[in-house]
């Protein structure tokens, strides 16, 4: 039996206290919150004995399954709408066995996702309310449904492929699990996969989580808005911008900018982008074909290049480059910039999820520099936000 060191636990706990005592704001800054959370995780690591912690970790997919089943049965919605609701009532509405509901909810109350109000009685916590939101439902359904099988089979798949780093979009873990050689985004847009694709797009709307949008911390106006922009060319093109959520945030921050603004994506995605500002033009396009907009001021790409290995990124970058004007256009990439040392858990998990779903990767600063330089782009700067959000990489011709 390993012993828990009081010194180590205390040292980590006092780090958390010291971090939280910084500043006098009623709310903790994003930077302090991220650091304190990392330190608090170390307190848990120090207090939890490995022989228990590891079993808990190995069993954690059962919690994930319970969340997915409860989402399927609308249990979070029922709990959110009632101060207290019984297992019997949930079972009746969901047409499920009460014993099953109690067992699923036991793990979710133990995890703090649902409040336990008594024997077989449940109420909402702020986690329940979040899990019940449209964006969270899209995320958890898409991620569970698309990744669990490739993850389960990934161990054998990596063995069979000789432990090579996956880079082939047509032959990855996702393709093996779904018995296809279609790249993931092509497979997702096949009509029979409509439901999972809809969940994916809802996930993309909220994939930034609570981490701050670039418009809240990056000096966009000072850096990019040209005096006397003539509106003959777009101010900003959101390249593969999904349902336009990032453009809408941009316009909330800069309501006086006239644009024009262009949202590019696949037609099927644009068709589901319903509440856009009239300043935004929808433009169907293909990342791998000639770009339709030439000479815009900003080509913005969020969570696009991390979907591809270097070879496909080079094709995408060649296309963007061809539409940029030297001395005027900027490419603005909003993606994680992983540190070489001390990478946080969330970013390192994103990286592996990219491997599982797309044979792609998150990149370190050195990898971003190598990629953009070999595409013939010049890096104006790499900028890191407060906390652990995605960074901004600005490149020019």
Stretch that binds ligand SAM, among 63-71, 78-86, 299-307, 324-332 (CB under 6 A): 299-307
Q: Which is nearer to ligand SAM, 125 or 201 (CB)?
A: 201
302 lies in the site for ligand SAM, by CB under 6 A: yes
Alpha helices in the chain (DSSP H): 6-20, 30-47, 50-72, 75-81, 87-94, 98-110, 126-131, 134-160, 173-178, 184-188, 194-206, 214-217, 220-224, 245-253, 267-271, 310-323, 345-358, 365-374
Nearest approach, Cβ of residue 269 and ligand SAM (Å): 4
389 lies in the site for ligand SAM, by CB under 6 A: no
184 lies in the site for ligand SAM, by CB under 6 A: no
Q: Which is nearer to ligand SAM, 39 or 287 (CB)?
A: 287
Q: Which is nearer to ligand SAM, 191 or 342 (CB)?
A: 191
Q: How many CB atoms lie within 10 A of CB 191?
A: 7
Q: Which of 266, 283, 312, 319 binds ligand SAM (CB under 6 A)?
A: 266
Q: Which of 185, 261, 336, 350 binds ligand SAM (CB under 6 A)?
A: 185
Closest by alpha carbon to 291, among 327, 326, 265, 259? 265
10 Å CB burial of residue 136 (0-12, 13-18, 19+) is buried
Q: Which of 108, 166, 172, 307 binds ligand SAM (CB under 6 A)?
A: 307
Whether the CA torsion 153, 158, 160, 161 is positive or negative: it is positive
Question: What is the rounded CA–CA span in Å between residue 99 and residue 105?
Answer: 10
134 lies in the site for ligand SAM, by CB under 6 A: no
The pattern of x and - marking residues 139 through 158 that bind ligand SAM according to CB under 6 A reads --------------------
172 lies in the site for ligand SAM, by CB under 6 A: no
CA distances for 169 relative to 166, 183, 213, 294, 369, angstroms: 8, 5, 29, 28, 22
Q: Which is nearer to ligand SAM, 114 or 237 (CB)?
A: 237
Cβ proximity of 287 and 304 under 8 Å = yes
Stretch that binds ligand SAM, among 3-11, 39-47, 303-311, 367-375 (CB under 6 A): 303-311
Stretch that binds ligand SAM, among 48-56, 226-234, 255-263, 285-293 (CB under 6 A): 285-293
Q: Site residues for ligand SAM, window 241-260 (CB under 6 A)?
A: 241-242, 246
Known catalytic residue at 306: yes
Question: What is the rounded CA–CA span in Å between residue 376 and residue 374?
Answer: 5
Q: For the chain, first and last CA: distance in Å?
A: 60
269 lies in the site for ligand SAM, by CB under 6 A: yes
Q: Which is nearer to ligand SAM, 261 or 303 (CB)?
A: 303
Q: Tell me the two tokens of residue 385.
A: 């936000």
265 lies in the site for ligand SAM, by CB under 6 A: yes
Question: What is the rounded CA–CA span in Å between residue 146 and residue 143?
Answer: 5
Cβ proximity of 356 and 174 under 8 Å = yes
Nearest approach, Cβ of residue 155 and ligand SAM (Å): 26
List residues near ligand SAM by CB under 6 A: 185, 204, 207, 240-242, 246, 265-266, 269, 285-288, 302-304, 307
Catalytic sites, residue numbers = 306
């Amino acid at each position: 039996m390993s012993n828990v060191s009081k010194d180590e636990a205390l040292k980590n706990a006092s780090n958390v206290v010291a971090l939280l005592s910084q500043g006098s704001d009623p709310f903790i800054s994003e930077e302090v919150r991220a650091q304190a959370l990392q330190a608090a995780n170390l307190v848990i690591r120090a207090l939890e004995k490995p022989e228990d912690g590891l079993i808990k970790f190995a069993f954690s997919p059962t919690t994930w399954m319970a969340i997915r089943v409860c989402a399927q049965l609308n249990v979070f919605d029922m709990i959110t709408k009632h101060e207290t609701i019984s297992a019997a009532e949930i079972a009746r509405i969901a047409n499920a066995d009460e014993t099953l509901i109690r067992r699923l909810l036991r793990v979710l109350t133990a995890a703090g996702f649902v409040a336990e109000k008594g024997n077989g009685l449940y109420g909402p916590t702020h986690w329940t309310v979040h899990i019940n939101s449209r964006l969270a439902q899209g995320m958890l359904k898409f991620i569970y449904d698309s990744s669990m099988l490739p993850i389960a089979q990934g161990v054998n798949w990596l063995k069979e492929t000789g432990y090579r780093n996956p880079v082939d979009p047509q032959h990855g873990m996702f393709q093996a699990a779904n018995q296809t050689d279609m790249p993931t985004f092509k497979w997702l847009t096949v009509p029979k996969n409509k439901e999972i694709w809809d969940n994916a797009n809802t996930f993309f709307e909220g994939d930034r989580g609570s981490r701050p949008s670039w418009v809240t911390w990056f000096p966009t106006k000072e850096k990019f808005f040209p005096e006397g922009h003539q509106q003959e060319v777009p101010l900003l093109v959101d390249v593969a911008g999904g349902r336009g959520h990032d453009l809408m945030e941009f316009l909330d921050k800069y309501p006086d900018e006239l644009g024009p603004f262009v949202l590019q994506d696949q037609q099927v995605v644009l068709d589901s982008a319903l509440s856009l500002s009239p300043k935004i033009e929808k433009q169907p396009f293909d990342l791998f074909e000639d770009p339709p907009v030439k000479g815009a001021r900003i080509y913005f790409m969020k969570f696009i290049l991390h979907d591809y290995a270097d070879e496909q990124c080079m094709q995408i970058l060649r296309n963007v480059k061809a539409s940029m004007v030297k001395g005027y256009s900027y490419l603005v990439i909003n993606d994680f910039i992983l540190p070489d040392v001390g990478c946080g858990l969330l970013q390192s998990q994103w990286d592996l999820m990219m491997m599982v779903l797309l044979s792609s990767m998150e990149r370190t600063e050195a990898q971003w520099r190598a990629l953009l330089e070999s595409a013939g782009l010049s890096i104006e700067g790499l900028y890191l936000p407060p906390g652990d959000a995605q960074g901004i990489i600005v490149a020019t011709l």
